């Protein structure tokens, strides 16, 4: 299929949107290097990475003062993209030492958050961490080669992916993907999903490197997630809820708040859709969706970003992570072909990293968007 063959997976060519709109390669490379330096080695008001001892390190959720599998696996993906093996190995050693379960119902899964000294705060896992760990490890294996355990990256990735699909088959526990729908769950025990967890472009690659018996499942999961996002994203605004049922309708889960609306988790959906388009170009809907989302935000100032119902009604409540939302709105420009794509790319370029207490989540999304829009979020 001609359209399929145009994605970066097939061509090896990654679109550099910043270059297309007039920035030089020198400016772009300098901006990316500076952002890495600020986040991993910068001053106390900006950095989110901290070494621990001689061979470990962590990304700190500065708003909650804890360490999360989200951030640890994100940091590993950032590091492998930037060819930073030392930071990658330190993050992985911390994750392996303190966060990964070795027995019980969560064996091979990761406790979703802990203190900076490694003390676990919760035992349960969050599947977005597992999927990022697995692909970052596969990329590390392909980029640097496998070493002795725990740096036998490809083997470690397959252990995680095996657990994600087969946990509970021989005893206690639950898989992270719903076997019937082939959709990722919010947590292993939940009967609903989180649209921002859906990474079909990752599953296409898992279908190449996972255990041979599981490869057909991952191909089907990629197709299922692409179809799911059609139903989870509003047909007019492009907004998605934080949690959604397997049919895509907002999930009415009230334990810790109301997650039927467009808020922090949901920002990632736009960036995920755009990167899937850049890598694989399987679904032309992704272009229309990215245009819709950018059209919705085009006339809203970043300082006025809020919580929204998915039909676009604003709440009084301001966005907790406005820079993160801007970053993902800009990342959508990789797939968008409408009049707003250049606007968001320029606005993002002109916006610095966030500083202060809430910077962690914003700046993770910021760095991924910087990688993507500069043609540096690559398949290894």
172 classed as catalytic: no
Q: DSSP states of 12-38 as a string? A: -----HHHHTT--HHHHHHHHHHHHHH
From 265, 283, 340, 362, the catalytic residue: 265
| Token pair listed for 166 | 């087969």
Q: What is the sign of the dihedral through the CA atoms of 100, 153, 187 and 255?
A: positive
Each residue of 98-128: b (16+ CB within 10 Å) or e? bbbbeeebbebbbbbbbeeebebeeebbbbb
Give the end-to-end CA distance of the chain in Å, rounded to a whole number.
23
Alpha carbon distance 380, 362 (integer Å): 25
Q: Is 247 an annotated catalytic residue?
A: no
Candidates 38, 61, 66, 70; catalytic one: 70
Instruction: Please give the Cα distance from 188 to 126 (Å, whole number).
Output: 8
- CB neighbours of 376 closer than 8 A, spacing ≥ 6? 14, 32, 81, 370
Q: Which of 205, 178, 179, 176 is nearest to 280 (CA)?
A: 205
Question: Tokens 């990474």 appear where?
Answer: 199
The two structure tokens encoding residue 300: 């809203």
Q: Which residues are catalytic?
A: 70, 265
């Amino acid at each position: 299929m001609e359209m399929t063959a145009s994605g970066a997976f097939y061509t090896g060519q990654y679109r550099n949107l910043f270059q297309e709109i007039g920035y030089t390669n020198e400016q772009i490379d300098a901006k990316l290097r500076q952002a890495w330096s600020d986040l991993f080695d910068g001053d106390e008001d900006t950095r989110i990475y901290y070494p621990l001892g001689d061979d470990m390190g962590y990304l700190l959720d500065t708003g909650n003062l804890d360490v999360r599998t989200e951030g640890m696996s994100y940091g590993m993906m950032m590091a492998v993209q930037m060819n930073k093996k030392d930071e990658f190995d330190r993050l992985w050693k911390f994750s392996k030492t303190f966060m990964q379960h070795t027995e019980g119902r969560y064996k091979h899964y990761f406790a979703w958050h802990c203190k900076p000294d490694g003390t676990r705060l919760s035992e349960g896992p969050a599947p977005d961490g597992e999927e990022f760990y697995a692909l970052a490890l596969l990329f590390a294996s392909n980029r640097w080669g496998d070493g002795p355990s725990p740096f036998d990256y490809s083997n470690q990735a397959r252990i995680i992916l095996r657990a994600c699909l087969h946990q509970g088959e021989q005893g206690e526990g639950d898989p992270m993907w719903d076997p019937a729908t082939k959709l990722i769950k919010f947590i292993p025990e939940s009967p609903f999903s989180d649209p921002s967890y859906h990474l079909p472009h990752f599953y296409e690659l898992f279908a190449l490197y996972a255990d041979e018996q599981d490869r057909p499942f991952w191909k089907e999961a990629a197709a299922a997630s692409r179809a799911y996002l059609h139903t989870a994203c509003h047909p007019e605004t492009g907004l998605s809820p934080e949690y959604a049922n397997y049919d895509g309708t907002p999930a009415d889960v009230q334990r810790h708040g109301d997650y039927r609306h467009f808020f922090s988790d949901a920002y990632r959906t736009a960036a995920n859709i755009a990167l899937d388009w850049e890598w694989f170009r399987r679904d032309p809907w992704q272009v229309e969706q990215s245009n819709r989302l950018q059209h919705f935000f085009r006339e809203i100032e970043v300082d006025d970003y809020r919580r929204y119902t998915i039909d676009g009604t604003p709440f009084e409540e301001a966005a907790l992570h406005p820079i993160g939302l801007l970053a993902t709105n800009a990342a959508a420009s990789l797939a968008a072909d409408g009049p707003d794509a250049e606007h968001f790319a320029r606005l993002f370029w002109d916006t610095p990293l966030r500083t202060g207490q809430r910077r962690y989540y914003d700046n993770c999304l910021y760095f991924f968007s910087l990688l993507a829009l500069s043609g540096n979020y690559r398949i290894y």
